[in-house]
Amino acid sequence: MKKEIKSYFKNHSSLKLKSKEIAKHFGITEEYGYAELKSVLFKLTEEGFLQKQGKRYSLNNSETGKLIGQLQIVGEGDYGFVVLKGQNNKTDVFIPGKNLGTAFDGDIVHIILMAKKHGKNIEGRIIDVVERNRNEIVGRLEKSKSFYFVVPDNKKIHRDIYVANDFLKNAKVGDKVVIGKIEWKSPDVNPEGQILEVLGKSGTYDAEIASIAREFGITYKFSDKILNQAESISEIIPDTEIKKRLDLRDTITFTIDPEDAKDFDDAVSVEPLQNGNFSVGIHIADVSHYVKDNSPIYKEALNRGTSVYLVGKVIPMLPEKLSNIICSLVPNKDRLTYSVIVEITPAAKVVSYEIKKSIINSKRRFTYDEVQKIIEDGKGEFSDKILQLNDIAQKLRTKRIKKGSINFFSPEIVFKLDKNGIPVEINIKEVRESNNLIEEFMLLANQIIAGHVNPKQNKINKPFVYRIHDLPDREKIFEFARFVKSLGYSFDPNSANKSKQFQQLLESCEGTEEEAVINEIAIRSMAKAIYSTNNIGHYGLGFKYYTHFTSPIRRFPDLIVHKLIFDYTNNKENNFSVEDLEEICNHSSERERNAINAERLSVKLKQIEYLQGKVGTDFHGVVSGITNFGIFVELSHTLAEGLIKFRDMEDDYYIFDEKNYTITGKRTGRKIRLGDKVNVKLARVDNEKREIDFTLLD
């Protein structure tokens, strides 16, 4: 009957019939047959094939019934949501697991709407995949009886992929592989694919790094063409080029970087002036001199967008010959730079500045620890210059915060790895005055460059790449205010100057165990900083003009800013239209988000690896998330985050209060809030599912 009804409506797509009229057409007169017809009509409406208006049924072939959007899988294919394209006024469409069809996470899909709702969301069913989000999937090769299959690393890819014997490419069970040429014709059977590349034995350091890169679409290796072009670039600087530049080789310049840094793209200098002010130099590697527009290296850097910093491994934006040698401001070598030279008073007021192509010869490579020791002891090589720079930096920081700049604290962890890449120690990175010293001068240079292109006095408006940060969402701000109030802190969401409110709050919780959680929730309530040609300012920093100029070795937008600022300051025509720059901004923002996600996964996997041998150990932590299925806890010393499932909390039945970020025991009345300090036992570590489970200790 179902097939006959579908065929009938397909052939008569304009009909709108009552159930009795349909029964009459098919000659159904018995009560049993009519009941079966009603059941079939209900199912066809639920599936979205038919639509019901009042008592009449018709074929669901209108544009409102067929919509296109991107699928976002939740869990391991339990269900998903489709974010509709061009439907800003509609909520996302809920897709139950049974209605996902042959779609993977991230696919562009064709859906039809169902006759029912799921909470505040309309329910839908995927009827077709318009475009696959990924052509390749990374996973582990396994075998069951006579057939092989790949278990995807990304659990949102919720189906294993079958591999025929002819397409194994010599991979062995347990290998980490890249699978492609994927076909999935029916949700009743698993997708099929072919192994394209064997990354190595699953669990080995190199294989895991390569698999993270492939999972996020990060190009892991440079082609021979790119490497050959890089090798052809000479390290020798011609005299003709030196004559064009401000020669600062006799000026005392030095770099300050982490101990494990491989490339140095910024150096600083300070010289006293006769009028009592200081000349502070911020010298940035002149990558634009070597990377010419539309060259193979330029195109590759554009595609990559950014360097990616995985645990123990950097995937650079530029080949090593450029990033670690020619452009890197290594000590005692002549290097081409782009300098922002600022005249600044002892009170840290900027009097004037100039932007010049230059050449320097760094006199010393300092680590943050070395500079910190000089700041604390007041002695050491170039101590007078370091102390002077630090004094100016502290004053710049104080002024910046007074104007409403927010200093978010996002704790970072540092891994100590053995020779096989296995983590043997995890420490929280300490941010000290030496870190802040460099940060303040980089912020200053970025501000000056952005303001120079669009200065207040004459409103010159040239196409440019800005780093912008929008105002926070009003609803999220009110949620944040409720959250911090539950922890005993005050935050006025109606305040005219919310940035100062944020800063006061962050200062009041500094040094407490809940500091990291408050910072994290505050960051979540903010818009994301992005690149754009439309300058709306940077809310978080409190700057009207801001860009990225200071890291061209590892960020593509900085390289473009170098090219633009040189053309504008020398009255040259640049090669980029507003449309070109906006495309670069969008692509760079996307690659940045992608790199951040890859870096986070890299950290998470190393945390999991570190904890594997510590099951049964007690830990201290802070409640970092509360959901309807359990609470997340972040360990205080490793920042590893794991879940305490409600089903494992046997002391009581807990009720979830989403608005107040709490759960409450029904019998005992025990409350657990976001930000609470708790003691937990490590119950389970699952490397394959990338999960950590805790149990709560009393």
- The pLDDT confidence band at residue 516, using thresholds 50, 70 and 90, is confident
pLDDT in tens, 576-587: 999 999 999 999
pLDDT value at residue 605: 92
Task: Say if 310 falls within a structural domain.
Answer: yes
What's the rounded mean pLDDT across residues 13-29?
84
Q: Are residues 85 and 114 in the same domain?
A: yes
The pLDDT of residue 277 is: 97
Q: Label residue 481 by pLDDT band (50, 70, 90).
A: confident
Q: Are the C-beta atoms of residues 624 and 674 closer than 8 Å to each other?
A: yes
Say whether both 44 and 104 belong to one domain. Answer: no
**Range with lowest mean pLDDT among 357-366, 379-388, 492-501:** 492-501
The reply to whether 297 falls in a domain is yes
Share of the chain residues as helix, strand and coil, in percent rounded to the nearest 5: 30, 30, 40
If one counts the domains in the chain, the total is: 6
User: Looking at the predicted structure, is the pLDDT value of residue 460 above 60?
Assistant: no
**Chain position carrying tokens 């590759």:** 300
Q: Is the pLDDT of residue 511 over 50?
A: yes
Neighbours of 617 (CB within 10 A): 10
Asked if pLDDT for residue 116 goes beyond 50, the answer is yes
Of residues 117 and 655, which shows the higher confidence score? 655
> What gap in Å lies between CA 16 and CA 390, rounded to an integer?
78
pLDDT at 266 (0 to 100): 97
Gap between the Cα atoms of 374 and 370, Å rounded:
6
β partners of residue 645 = 630
Please tell me whether residues 197 and 237 are part of one structural domain. Answer: no
Please report, to the nearest 10 degrees, the dihedral formed by the alpha carbons of residues 197, 200, 204, 210 taken in order.
-20
Are residues 18 and 56 in contact, defined by beta-carbon separation less than 8 angstroms?
A: yes
Residue 193 structure tokens: 């694919």
User: How confident is the model over 477-484, as a mean pLDDT?
Assistant: 83
Q: Which domain-ending residue is among 309, 340, 369?
A: 369
For residue 413, the SS3 value is strand
Angstrom CA distances, 441 to 270, 393, 469, 558, stand at: 11, 7, 20, 16
| Position 409 confidence tier, pLDDT thresholds 50, 70, 90 | confident
- Do the domain assignments include residue 466? yes
pLDDT of residue 61: 61
Distance CA(540)–CA(443), nearest Å, equals: 13
Say whether both 328 and 465 belong to one domain.
Answer: no
Kindly state the percentage of the chain with pLDDT values over 70: 96
Residue 532 belongs to a domain: yes
Nearest residue to 444 via CA among 536, 344, 540: 344
Least confident interval from 26-30, 345-349, 678-682: 26-30
Of all residues in the chain, the percent with pLDDT exceeding 90 is: 56
pLDDT band at 217 (very low <50, low <70, confident <90, very high): confident
* CA separation for the pair 49, 21 (Å, rounded): 18
Residue 268 pLDDT > 50: yes
pLDDT (0 to 100) of residue 478: 85
Structure tokens at 108: 């562009």
The three-class DSSP label of residue 376 is: helix
Question: Which residues have CB under 8 Å from 27's CB, separation 6+?
Answer: none
Considering the domain architecture, whether residues 195 and 243 belong to the same structural domain is answered as: no
**In the block, residue with structure tokens 């150990």:** 617
The answer to whether 140 and 150 have CB atoms below 8 angstroms apart is: yes
Sorting pLDDT into bands at 50, 70 and 90, what band is 455?
Answer: low
pLDDT category of residue 640 using cuts at 50, 70 and 90? very high
- Tokens for 660, please give them: 């107040």
Token pair listed for 68 = 């296109």
Does any domain span residue 50? yes
Quickly state the pLDDT bin for 360 (edges 50, 70, 90): very high
Is 631 contained in some domain?
Answer: yes
Where is the domain boundary, 369, 400, 432? 369
Query: How does pLDDT run across 204-213, given as a tens digit for each residue?
Result: 888 888 889 9
Please tell me whether residue 390 adopts helix, strand or coil conformation: helix
Domain limits for position 73: 66-131
Pair 625, 692 in one domain: yes
How many whole angstroms separate alpha carbon 405 and alpha carbon 543? Answer: 8
- The answer to whether residue 41 is domain-embedded is yes
Strand, helix or coil for residue 348: coil
- Ramachandran category for residue 59: left, alpha or beta (phi over 0 → left; psi -120 to 50 → alpha): beta
6: pLDDT confidence band, cut at 50, 70 and 90? confident
Q: Are residues 249 and 171 in the same domain?
A: no
Query: Per-residue DSSP letters for 432-444?
Result: -HHHHHHHHHHHH
Same-domain pairing of 571 and 634: no
pLDDT of 65 higher than 70: no
Q: What are the strands, taking DSSP E only, across 453-579?
A: 466-468, 530-532
Going by C-alpha positions, the residue among 168, 161, 147, 167 that lies closest to residue 190 is 161
pLDDT of residue 53 exceeding 80, the answer is no
Is the pLDDT confidence value at 496 over 70? no
Rg (CA), the chain: 30
Closest residue by Cα to residue 545 from 468, 439, 660, 642:
468
Tokens of 219: 């190009």
pLDDT of residue 88: 53
Is the whole model's pTM more than 0.85, yes or no? no
Residue 263, CB-side half-sphere exposure with 13 Å CA sphere: 27
The predicted model gives 664-691 an average pLDDT of 89
Give the β-pairing of 192-201 and 246-248.
Answer: unpaired
pLDDT above 80 for 263: yes
Domain endpoint, select from 82, 105, 131: 131
**What's the pLDDT band for 398 if we cut at 50, 70, 90?**
very high
Residue 64 in this model has a pLDDT that exceeds 60: no
Same domain, 234 and 358: yes
Question: Where does the pLDDT of residue 458 fall: very low under 50, low under 70, confident under 90, or very high at 90 and above?
Answer: very low
**194 plus 153 within the same structural domain:** yes
Indicate if the pLDDT at residue 510 is higher than 50.
yes
Q: Say how far residue 233 (Cα) sits from the centre of its chain.
A: 33
Burial tier of 126 (Cβ tally within 10 Å: 0-12, 13-18, 19+): buried
Q: Are residues 590 and 619 in the same domain?
A: no
Q: Is 137 helix (H, G, I), strand (E, B) or coil?
A: strand
Is a pLDDT exceeding 90 seen at residue 688? Answer: no
Please compute the mean of the pLDDT values over residues 186-199 and round it to a whole number: 93
Residue 424 pLDDT grade (very low, low, confident, very high; cuts 50, 70, 90): very high
**Tokens 């149990």, residue located:** 695
pLDDT of residue 271: 97
CA–CA gap between residue 429 and residue 427 (Å, rounded) = 6
CATH of the domain at 176: 2.40.50.700
Look at residue 476 in the predicted model and tell me its pLDDT: 83
Q: Which residues contact 72 (CB under 8 A, 6 or more apart)?
A: 80, 81, 82, 83, 92, 105, 106
Residue in 677, 650, 450 with CA at minimum distance from that of residue 545: 450
The rounded distance, in Å, linking the Cα atoms of 190 and 150 is 11
How confident is the model at residue 47, as a pLDDT? 65
* Bridge partners, 415 (sequence order): 426
Q: Check residue 63 and give its pLDDT.
A: 43
313-348: per-residue pLDDT in tens? 999 999 999 999 999 999 999 999 999 999 999 999
Q: Are residues 141 and 115 in the same domain?
A: no
Specify the higher pLDDT residue, 53 or 283: 283
Q: Residue 71 is part of a domain; what is its CATH number?
A: 2.40.50.140
**Comparing 324 with 27, which gets the higher pLDDT?**
324
Q: How many residues does the chain have?
A: 698
433 lies in some domain:
no
* Residue whose structure tokens are 């992005």: 530
* Residue at token pair 């300490």: 430
**Which range has the top average pLDDT, 76-85, 147-156, 354-363, 424-433?**
354-363
- CB of 469 within 8 A of CB of 526? yes
Specify the range with the lowest mean pLDDT, choosing from 134-138, 237-241, 475-479, 681-685: 475-479
3-state secondary structure of 18: strand
CA-CA distance, 279 to 342, in Å (whole number)? 6
Mean pLDDT over the full length of the chain:
89
- The answer to whether residues 413 and 428 touch, using CB atoms and an 8 Å cutoff, is yes
Closest by Cα among 640, 629, 625 to 673: 625
